[in-house]
Structure formats: structure tokens, C-alpha cells
Chain A
Amino acid sequence: MINYIFKRILYAIPILIGVNLLTFTLFFVVNSPDEVARLHLGNKRVTQEQIQSWNEQRGYNFPLFFNQSETGLNVIKKTIFYEKSVKLFYFDFGISDSGRDIKYDIKQRMWPSLAIALPSLLVGLMINITFALFFVFFRATKVDYIGVIFCVALMSISSLFYIIGGQYLISKLLQLVPISGYAQGVDAIKFLILPVFISVIYGIGSGTRWYRSLFLEEIEKDYVKTAKSKGLSEVSVLFNHVFKNALIPILTGVVVILPLLFLGSLIVESFFGIPGLGSYTIDAIQSQDFAIVRAMVFLGTILYIFGLILTDISYTLVDPRVRLK
């Protein structure tokens, strides 16, 4: 098992290198740092001199791959590629184009993201599975048919509408929760209710349908038919056999996205003014802070790969028949 995990981690390295090269090409070969500098120095009275020293401070003045003017290792080290890309591998994200330390900001901002994403995931999971079981119980009846149509309808609404509508109704008309904002500690609850609620509602359509199809797949299997023929009640078959066995794909599906929860939700966070990584990314995109976007791409990739490894491990834990090689 440990061997396997080790292998998986080794396998992740070339992928990370690939991602790194890709982002490097996107951000430096295409876009010259001069333009970035001008953007961040503001718009009143900017001189070429200032741009140069801005670039110097952030290490954007180096050549891309080889620095001919240096000697020894510095030929490679004093380059944009080394400074901006290789350093990511030991989690040195550097400073953002607006001058803040990125690692510090990421550490601060991942918790609010998690505070929204985790409850949304758990509550959503519960509700979706309940609905799915309900529809499966009534499969091939009107209830199921209407339910599926209802799910499709819910799925067809853009997430933006859920957010705009929810905020308008619950915060503005009913004045039940603050419209936006965030606080540390227990105070955060009142700010989290609405975004979590909206995320859950948004997920119902696709989630319920997905779990429903998982259960239906399971219900067709022979052992279920056997159990039924033994005269077990439908409810107990559903819970004891179908649900239990479908847990494996459900669990692994959840595990794979667990690490990504840290990244947060882009639009929910920015609508509700929650200082998480999602709104951090949006801000970076909108202010064209390439350093942050680059760091987030790398971080996102790492978390994704980490999720995959976790999934494999959880397979073995849940289902002892699976052996990792």
C-alpha cells in the first residue's frame, strides 16, 4: 500500500511539471511583464523608470530560461522560469503583483472557503441521497417521472439565478440573514447560512439524478433480486442492500473532491463577500494579477491529484476486494 502511494506520488510529478510548463508559457511567453507593471503601478504619472524597478523588485527583469550574464548555477537560477515556476514546487508562491505574500494569503483564505464548501457538501449529500432513494423507491411510477422532470428543471437554471434570487428574497425582503460579509469564529454562522442553503439547492437537481442512477444500477443486480425474492420488504432491501452497496461509488465520488473544497466556489464567494480562495481567484482574474492566478492553478492541480490518490486509498479501505498494485 505504501509502495503504491509512493508510486502514485511519483506519477504525479510529471503531471505537475506539465502543468507548470503550460502555465509558464501562458503567462510569460505571451505577456510581457512591462504591461503587468503598468497595470499595477496605477494610472497617474507612470514612468518607464518606475516600471523597470517594479520588475526588478518582483524578479520579472530576468531572461526567460538562460541568464547569460551570470555564472555557475545562477545561469539557470536567475531566470524567470526558475524564480516563478520551479519555486512553486517547494510551495514558494512568491509575492503577488500587488505586493502581498501569496502563501500567507492562501493560508488565511482557505478556511472561509472550507467553511462554506464542507457544510454545503454534507447537507447536499444527505438531501440528495434522501431524494434519490425516495425516487428509486417509486421507480417507474408518476412520482419518479415527475421527480426526474423536476430535477432536470432545477438543473436547467443557471447558478447565477439561484444566488441573485436567494439573496433578494431571503436577505432583502425577509431580512433573515445579513446580505453579505463574514466574521471569524462562531459569528460566521449567520453569514454562512444563505450561501450554504443556495449551494445545496443548486446541487439538488444534478445530485439527486446522479445518485438515483447509481441506485438504479445497483437495484438491477442479481443479489437484490435474490433478496427481494426472499420476501424482504422494499424498504429494507433499499437500505440494507442497495444503499449499502452504492455507498462505495458515493464515498469515492466525495473523496475525490474533498481536497478541492479548499479552493472554494468562485461566484458564491464573490457574491456574498466571503474572503475565501474563490473570491481571491476572481479578484486576481479581474485585476489580472498573474502571480496569484499562476499559484492557484498550481495549487488546484496539486489538490486534484491529491484527491485522486485519496480516492484510491479509500477504495481499498471501503472494499477489501480491491487490491492496489
Chain B
Amino acid sequence: MRSLQREPGLLLALLAVIVLVCVFILYPQIRVIITPGTGYIDFLSGGTWIRSTSQSIQVMVLSTTTAVLLGFVFAYAMVYTDMPWKPFFRLIGILPLLSPPFVVAASYLILFGPRGLITYGIFGQTISVFGLGGIWGVQTIAFFPFAYQLIADVLSRSDARLEQAARNLGAGPWQVFRSVTLPLSRPGLGAAILTTAIYVLEDFGNPALIGGTFTVLPTQAYGLISGFGDLPGATAVSTLLLALALILYVAKIRLDGGRSFITVSGRASSMPRPPVPVVLTWACFVACLLLAVVILTVYGTLLVSALTLNFPNNLSFTTKHFEYITSDVNGTALQNTLIFGVVAAAFSAVFALVAGWLVERGSWPGRRVLDFLLIMPAAIPGLFFGIGYATAFNEAWLDWLDRGVLIIISMIFWNIPVGYQAAVAGLRQIDRTMDEAATSLGASSLRGFRDVLIPMLGGSISVGFVTTFVRAVTTLSVVIFLFTSGTTVATIRIFQLVNDLNWGRATAFTVADIGMAILALGGIALLSRGRIALGAARA
């Protein structure tokens, strides 16, 4: 507190952060929640929410269960066994994080849809693939890599020394896992499951493409606005969605203290883990191989479709889909995607860094509140966030504001938790005596931050930047209520083209979009000379 009085620069920075958080995180949410007003009564008595809510929960439970199970197998195999081809599997696990989750649905439709390669092309069937079963399968494939990243993170933090100690005391591999590893990582695993559940609950793209009449909360909210222009109804549904996500999120916070980052001592990880039985290793290898085949089929289908005239009926090579997506409004969309992503990621990284520093290193009252507000967007469904911006900033007096700028701002603040948590985790690894050393040599807090902490935080800043970029270029739900024809982006165009069943163009767009994410991640990994593990891109 006194340090704030003594350093006006610090006070200004803090006030700026508070104002921005209130305007761009808190205010839009409040606007959505109050928009229905008395409409809540109509909405609740209308009863349509009961079906979509129960279906949302149903599909969330199913998809989360299977995604977590597959993710766990993958994570266990990667962390505990010395199976071959690990670098390959690591890449397989990252690929889905670099793409919009709903492209899995697109690939699924190409393969299993009414005119799908496998269903119709091979078996001559036109079975219905829409509805619960389809969503379940697609979300399992789309989200198991997320579950894998989260669980692998938890498992790799379990202290190898404790496991060695248990082996030394006479426990077998299975006993070690059951009596040491699992109990110690239970909170982390619980948090990983809840986080996966939030991803599934918020998923808009997949249910929108293959849900058919099976409505979940995000698709209901979208349908109410796009079909009926019913803003009160849509905001009420969104509020319900937010409430569910917040319940999961609060439970997650109780398990992992609000962040999945814990400072790890380098020593713990440098110790080899006790070996697992050979049979288990090979069983894991086969399981991972099968999952890799599925993932490669999903993305391979997209790639082949993008490069052929009319997949799967005409497999002649063509570049016309790519010519299409780089021309006119589509070229603009790609350009927008890149610009919005870069600008949002840069601002988000800088803002998150300053905010993380103020909260982590500060000692002023109310920092817990600011901390909560900064990690809260992680619990806000993208669709809710988008509706929030559309509601809050769709005002006549804001007409001068470019829609592109609004999209960028929404991407900045929706992604704040990513950069913020990376910054906080980075700062926690830097001992406070570093700040104090700078201070005792004559540096003010801000000066020490600039000269000492920022250079040491290089890794965290890059992680925040690249993750935000990837999330910005792969989000559909945040921008779906914000885009205009001049400010459309790749994910929107993919969604539109899939709905038009224009597979070649849709998949070409997808390939370009994923390509951007891969280039960003690869570029940063190169720049940091391998100091950032590729897996650091987890959302």
C-alpha cells in the first residue's frame, strides 16, 4: 500500500488495469445478465431451457468421460512409459490444440455424413449421423487431446523421488501408482476433468454442425438470435450456460487453487521414473497408435479434401480451393485472422504481464478480487463473451469504433487468463530477492520490473503470446456475434462453408487456419531456441 503512495507510476498502472478489467471483462457480463430483465420469467416458464440444459449436461458427462479416459491413457503412456515414437505422439497431441475444435465435426461429416466417404462411399448407407451419438463421438476426439495435455501436466508434476522412495520400500509399479501417484495427483486430475468438462460444455461449433435437432445451450442461444432475433431469450440461455460453467470453474478452483501452474523444482523432474512393465508399455503404445490413426484420419481428410476437386468422388489434385480462399472477401478474412490474432496476442501478453506483476508482486488490498476477475474469462463460454460484447458495445455512440477493433479487444480479454497465468507462474519461479536486489541497487519497482523481471520472463511471455494467438485464430464462438462482412475471419468462413456443404473450400480454409497456428508456434519455438517446449501451447 505504501509502495503505491511512494511510486505514482505504480498507482497509475494499477488504476489502468482496474479500469480496463471493469470495462472489458466485468461490464459486458453484467450487460448480458441484466438484458433479459423480466424476460427471465417468460424464458423460465417457456420451458425450452429444460431440454437444452439436460441435453447439454448429458453430452457433457458423456464426452468428458470418454475424452478424459482417452486423454489419461495417452498422458500415462507419455509420462510413465518409455514407449517408442514419443516425439511423434507429442506432435499428434498438439495438432488438435492448433485447430478450431469444430473442424473435427467437419471431417466427421466428410467421412460419415449422408454422402460420407465411409458410410456412403464404402457401405452405401445414408444413416443419420446427427444428434447425440455424433456429438459424443466428435467431442471425444476433439477434446481428448486437451484432456491429455492437462493430465500429462498433472502427472509429470508428481514427484519422481516419492515414487522411487515407494519402490525402494517394496511397492510394485501398480502399487506405486495406486498408493502414491494417484492420491497425490487427485486434485490435479479432478481439476483437469472439470476443465475438460468446461471445454465440452462451451463447445458451440461441433453441436452446431452435427447436432441436428439435438440442441444444447450454446446452439440454442445462437439459434434464438440468428433465427428469431430473440436477444432476451438468447441472453437468458447464455446466462444459464455461464452459471453452469461457473459452477464447474469454482469447483476446479477449490481443487487446484485457481491455477494449474505450480512451481516445480528442476530437480524433481530430472530424476528418472521407476520403469513400468513391458506389457503395459506396449499396450500403451498400441492405444496411442490407434488414437494417432484417428487424429491423422481427421486431419488427413481435411488436407486431402482441400487439395482435391471434389473429395471423395473426384480425387484430382487442384489448387482452386486455395485460390478461392485467398481472393476477395476470403483473402480479407485470412488477413483479418492473422492481423486480429497478432494484435490481440501482443496486447494480451503485455496487459497480462503487467496485471500479473501487479497482482503477484503487489501488496495492496483487493488483489484477490482483481486476481479472480483476471482468471474469470477462462470460465466464460466464448458464446457468452461474444454476446456480451455485442450487447455492451453495440451502441450508437460507439459507431465510430471499428468492428475489427472490437473483435480484437474481445480476443484480448477473453484470452487474458492464458497470459496472466503464464506471467504469474513465471513470476512465482523468480525469487522476490531478484526484485529486492534491483531495489537495493536503486531501481524503482517499475524499473526493476523492466530491467530484471521482464527479461527473465521471456519464456512466459512467449507462451502467453503464442497461446493467445492460437486461441484467437481458432475461436468461432467469440466472434460469431461480432463479425461484419469486412471483419470476417477464417473460422466464420469455415463455419459458413461447411453449412453450405462446400467441403473443398471449407477444408482449404481450415488448412490455412491451422497452418497459421502451426507457423506461429513453430516460429516462437525457433526464436526461443527450443527453450519453450512445444507442449506449452496448451490452452
Q: Do A and B form a real pair?
A: no
